Amino acid sequence: MAEEFADIIVEGKLDIPYRYYAGPVATRFYDALEGERKILGLRCPACRKVFVPPRGTCGACFREMDQWEEVGPGGELLNYTVVHYTEPIQPMPAPLVYGIIRLDGADTGLVHMLGELDPAAVRIGMRVTAVFASEPQGNILDIRYFKPASSAAP
């Protein structure tokens, strides 16, 4: 005998406390951002590609990586999107430009925000440079955003 069940929907909010463990690779990356205002990548010993953000294993040939390289702080904008609405999780109000930046010395792109520009003026291929937070916290937002390389410092 088949029983029929009615859909039950319970509305509510569930808070789940957790701790994030960045691991040794991301910890070294964040420590360099916070303490030295340097952006680090990892170079593969086999294919020689430099990954930013760094990762412990090469995405091209799957070798372990442990050769740290300083990259940037400048780079080239590979692609971008403009977000036209504000969400509480976003660190900046809309319109917010997110870009993929290949930093000088890196072979991969880093996704981050762009600032000090009109979203209509953003162009693929433009040169950008990192603007570091005045009070670093040991996370990716220690890079506040990337600005056009020709802009004056804030």
pLDDT tens-digit readout, 74-131: 999 999 999 999 998 888 999 999 999 999 999 999 999 999 999 999 999 999 999 9
Q: pLDDT at position 2, please?
A: 58
- Alpha-carbon span 56 to 148, nearest angstrom: 31
Paired tokens of 13: 């909010």
Six-digit token string for 100: 């993929």
**Distance of CA 136 to CAs 47, 59, 71, 73, 101, Å?**
33, 29, 19, 16, 21
| Inter-residue contact 126 to 77 (CB < 8 Å) | yes
Rounded CA separation 139/102 (Å): 19
pLDDT at 71: 98
Q: What is the pLDDT of residues 17-76, one digit of tens each?
A: 888 888 999 999 999 999 999 999 999 999 999 999 999 999 889 999 999 999 999 999
- What would the 3-class secondary structure string for the chain be? CCCCCCCCCCCCCCCCCCCCCCHHHHHHHHHHHHHHCCEEEEECCCCCCEECCCCCECCCCCCECCEEEEECCEEEEEEEEEECCCCCCCCCCCCEEEEEEEECCCCCCEEEEECCCCHHHCCCCCEEEEEECCCCCCCHHHEEEEEECCCCCC
pLDDT surpassing 50 at residue 152: no
